[in-house]
Chains A and B, each alone.
Chain A
Amino acid sequence: MIGNLLRADFLKIKRKGLWFLAFLGPFGVIALQMVNYGVRKDYLLNQSDDDWGYFLEYVHSFTPLALVLGIAILTSFMASIENETNAWKQLISLPVSKMSVYLSKFMVLGSLLFVSSLLLGVFSLGYGILLNLGDQIPYLELLKYSFYPYLAALPVLALQLWISSVSQNQGIPITTGVLGVIFAYSAFILPDWMIWKWPSLMNEWDEPLINVMLGIGVGTLLYIVGMLDFTRRDVK
């Protein structure tokens, strides 16, 4: 059943520009570094012996922002597909459980963001090689900087999906989305428990893996709570 729902959901996002956004996010992050390194490459390469690490740190400074913004935009697009003509009622009156409808939406968004993260890794690698940062390519670090923020951002995804699929007024998810972006921007000064800080991979123990674990754990929890709430409610 979930396979069929997924195939249907992927068909529905056709021509909505979601795939383009999934490409635009990581491209934008790397484009900023293209400007950065384009303008002052020599200066930046002098700053550290580990050119790759230094480059990846710079890339990562914009990843959380792009990720949280991307989540807000993708979830509201996703919900708008069903909200536009209130297709929820048509979808839910098909022989499917509401839980699998919700799961399918989450999985589609998860896949889009996964592709974004993958592209971020590929673009980072590509531009890094183009910059001639050295033969010692730190593949492991590259993977970490691409996928850790994604996993740490799962609670934000679960929260945004929950809010946008149960809100009658789409102003609410957009507001929380904008607030999330502001939070992600000010991750430096946020306390560790705020989910919007997690994609920055910062915490007081300086251990990114904690954010990843928290992201998966709290993300799962928020997903379950959102799904149960969605199931419990009457369809508009």
Chain B
Amino acid sequence: MEYVVQTTNLSKRFGKESAVIGLDMKIRKGEIYGFLGPNGAGKTTTIRMLLGLMKASSGTIQIFEKDLNKEKINILKRVGSLVENPSYYPHLTAYENLEALRKILGVPKTRIHEVLEIVRLTEVANKKVKGFSLGMKQRLGIAASLLNSPELLILDEPTNGLDPSGIIEIRNLIKQLPAETGMTILISSHLLSEIDQMATTVGIVTKGKMIYQDSIESLRMYAQQKVLLKVSDSEQAWRSLLGNGIKADWEDGIILLSEHSDEKVAKAIHTLVHEGYSIYRVEDEKRSLEDTFLQMTTREKVI
């Protein structure tokens, strides 16, 4: 199997503290790899090592099946990145910012207009970045990371600090990229809901260790979302669901459907309506990453 990124037993220590411990990351070509973990779990440290900004304490990194230590410059030619807060030169215009990077990358000038078009900053190309909103700066950062038409795009928390419309905008942007160019994307976040809507594969890291790495579908199964029902006379309603052979739990006046396929939910609601209960709310239970973590770690203990 060809991996675009493969780390083996990657570790990083700062003094006595270990930020990353024995991390094995595998990213296949064309994937959108969601790199999840709470703040301080080691995501940014891992990404910095992948970009050669930090040296690993031990372990190896292979990108495009080449050793990062030996062929750093050849590898970085094919990689675009945005690490944490966007970096920019506030006294320069958006165009000049990209031009400063373009000169180093040696790509044609037309590429600047193309990437500005992609992130929809063409109209403000000649304005100083100083006056940009955070969302615009973040988009400029993404434009910069796309300048060299990378085969691997590494985005570290690209939606951090953005308002909802900014988040949606960035998300749509990221989703359309691999489809158009066959790009492989590594995107980190501390929000599962964020990754859930983009990623095809996820890796979950906590306290410097990778505790889960598989497709997003498997994670959904793992996380086992439930459907919540708020109805009148809930305890009675719950009993009648059980009586009709529908698996459900009852907690604090809320019914939890553990089987959540469309048909099963429809059937449960049909039953309740038929029996004369009023239905106030039907909603997906939104599990935070923390919940999923808890669920995962407790399961591991059971196994």
The residues of A with any CB-CB pair to B shorter than 8 Å are: 4-5, 7-8, 11-12, 14-16, 81, 84-97, 234-235
Question: Known interface pairs A12-B92, A85-B85, A86-B87. Does A94 touch B53 (Cβ–Cβ under 8 Å)?
Answer: no
Instruction: Check B103–A234 contact: CB distance below 8 A.
Output: no
Q: Pull 29 A–B residue pairs with CB atoms less than 8 Å apart, ordered by A.
A: A11-B96, A12-B89, A12-B92, A12-B100, A14-B91, A14-B92, A15-B91, A15-B92, A16-B91, A84-B89, A85-B85, A85-B86, A85-B88, A87-B88, A89-B51, A89-B53, A89-B83, A90-B81, A90-B83, A90-B101, A90-B144, A92-B53, A93-B52, A95-B76, A95-B77, A96-B104, A97-B72, A235-B48, A235-B54
User: In the complex, A91→B81 CA distance in Å?
Assistant: 10
Q: How far is the CB of B197 from chain A (nearest CB, A)?
A: 26
B72: which A residues are within 8 A, CB to CB? 97
User: In the complex, A5→B91 CA distance in Å?
Assistant: 19
Q: Which 6 A-B pairs have the closest CB atoms?
A: A87-B87, A90-B87, A95-B76, A235-B53, A234-B54, A95-B77
Residues facing A in B76-124 (CB within 8 A) are: 76-77, 79, 81, 83-92, 96, 99-101, 103-106
Most buried by B among A5, A90, A91: A90
B84: which A residues are within 8 A, CB to CB? 89
Instruction: Check B73–A95 contact: CB distance below 8 A.
Output: yes
Instruction: Check A84–B90 contact: CB distance below 8 A.
Output: yes
Instruction: Check B104–A8 contact: CB distance below 8 A.
Output: yes
Instruction: Check A93–B81 contact: CB distance below 8 A.
Output: yes
B79: which A residues are within 8 A, CB to CB? 93
Residues facing A in B37-96 (CB within 8 A) are: 48, 51-55, 72-74, 76-77, 79, 81, 83-92, 96
A91: which B residues are within 8 A, CB to CB? 87, 104
User: In the complex, A228→B209 CA distance in Å?
Assistant: 32
Most buried by B among A5, A7, A16, A93: A93
Instruction: Check A11–B100 contact: CB distance below 8 A.
Output: yes
Instruction: Check B106–A4 contact: CB distance below 8 A.
Output: yes
A16: which B residues are within 8 A, CB to CB? 91
B89: which A residues are within 8 A, CB to CB? 12, 81, 84-85, 87
- Which among A5, A11, A88, A95 is the interface contact of B99 at CB below 8 angstroms? A11
A7: which B residues are within 8 A, CB to CB? 103
Closest to B88 in A: A85
Instruction: Check B92–A4 contact: CB distance below 8 A.
Output: no
